[in-house]
Chain A
Amino acid sequence: MRPGEFVSLLGPSGCGKSTALRLIAGLSEPSRGTIAWGAGAAPRARDIGFVFQEPTLMPWTTVAGNVALPLTLRHARTGDTAPRVAAALARVGLTEFRDAYPRELSGGMKMRVSIARALATDADLLLMDEPFAALDEITRFKLNNDLLDLWQALAKTVVFVTHSVFESVYLSGRIVVMTPRPGRVFKELAIEAPYPRDERFRTSAEYAADCRRVAETLAQAMDAAA
């Protein structure tokens, strides 16, 4: 991983993508081996933003309460919390929904809240586990663009798990293709298209060629495992 990089883990279900994220986040213990952190970065493993496949919001508290959670759990000074929450909500465009409860929001908005919560701690590393898989395609495209904007504005490092070839190509600078059972890294592919990317990129010949290249590699990975 290079700082500021957008990397996707792409592979079929059960190839260990999510497990890899959980290992990085420290939610699971490796059965063998270790995770190598950059110089000085290792002890701050807690400075991670995690976005789950489901929005994973607390229904009993407001949008602002949900976004503030990582800060409240760390007993951050309250004077510090409010502006951070406001900033994170502004980043995802939900400022006027700060006092709404999760059940009042659409699926896409809930996901935005989830992303805002990951941003609230100013973590350098964002781990995203198929965050948009449950959304409709139009909402997903919109959130893809918003995520790219955020990533460029905030200079975060993102590890993005997906099983969508198209999504991984659109978002990533580098795609790690994995094989199913046993889950291994099959190949790494660089997506050279320059950022910022927008809807023009989605309809370009370059995008189509990249998608094809990644899809072929994924097919090889499936064959290699079979």
Chain B
Amino acid sequence: MSVPDRATGDARALRLLLPIATLVLAVAIWHLVVRIYAIPPYTLPGPVLVAQTMVTDWGVLSTSLVATLVTTFEGLALAIAGGVGLAILFNLSRPVEYALYPIAVIIQVTPVLAIAPLLLIYLPQQGAVLACAWIVAFFPVLANTTLGLNSVDHNLTDLFRLYGASRVQVLFRLKLPAALPHMLTGIRIAGGLSLVGAVVAEIAAGSAGAGSGLAFRIAEAGYRLNIPRMFAALILLSIAGIVIFFALSGLSHLLLRRWHESAVARDR
């Protein structure tokens, strides 16, 4: 028994250690290259300088991080509400689906970077940023939830009918639970995309003037040739993306672990 256990334990340690080792190696090479070729910091700052900047500029950067995260989460929340709500509406009414689905696709396939400047004209800046985050994030929620709602076991549907279930009961006791795994997949994708949407809008808004998010800091630092701060803000954005991904994966695991195959550790 202990032999396969140790084997899986080793495999898990390897999966954790390898990416960390690779990352450390890359940072070391970065450091050496900057050092050996004496690259000036306004071209490529070394990792040590970036780390120092992170500490010295933490006041500005942390405020911006919070602003970006707030936008991201608001965008994600609206995307979940909009995506799930629309999917339910589509599922209840075919004509509504036929009427609105193509529009949802159009919104999705139009590059958000091209929409952002227009939104900035018609909406207050914070609203425009939020709208961008929503536009890129809602579609995966909608598409995956729709798929989930439509892939309910038809025998179970018959069973609910046989026992005289109302439409509300079918929706809440059958369709939504059955769609939950798909829905969570959509939400996991939407989390990352919502951050992308927020950043895109901030960059677009940044050139227009006001703003306070991390992406705005990157644009601003770029104009001032403050390259170390650009790197520091970029790294914070990466970390934010990673944390969002793991948080949503954790949520998904928490909700599905007891019953869904995808969340079950292969125990035998």
Contact = CB atoms under 8 A, between A and B. Distances in A.
B260 interface: yes
Dominant SS among interface residues on chain A: loop
Contacts of B164: 46, 73-74
Interface stretch (A34-42, A56-64, A204-212): A56-64
Contacts of B155: 52, 54, 56
B161 A103 contact: no
A222 interface: no
Contacts, number: 55
B163 A70 contact: yes
Contacts of A25: 162
B159 A52 contact: yes
B261 A103 contact: yes
B177 interface: yes
A101 interface: yes
A11 interface: no
B174 interface: yes
A50 B160 CA distance: 11
A58 B156 contact: yes
Contacts of A56: 153, 155-156, 159
B159 A46 contact: no
B264 A103 contact: yes
B158 A27 contact: yes
Contacts of A26: 162
A25 to B, nearest CB: 6
Interface in A47-86: 48, 50, 52, 54, 56, 58-61, 69-70, 72-74
Given A27-B161, A58-B178, 13 more contacts: A46-B164, A54-B155, A56-B159, A59-B259, A60-B178, A69-B173, A73-B173, A74-B163, A101-B258, A101-B259, A103-B259, A103-B261, A103-B264
Interface of A: 22, 25-27, 46, 48, 50, 52, 54, 56, 58-61, 69-70, 72-74, 101-103, 121
26 contacts: A26-B162, A27-B158, A46-B162, A46-B163, A50-B158, A50-B162, A52-B155, A52-B158, A54-B153, A56-B155, A58-B156, A58-B174, A60-B177, A60-B180, A61-B259, A69-B159, A69-B173, A70-B163, A72-B173, A73-B164, A73-B165, A73-B169, A101-B258, A101-B259, A103-B261, A121-B163
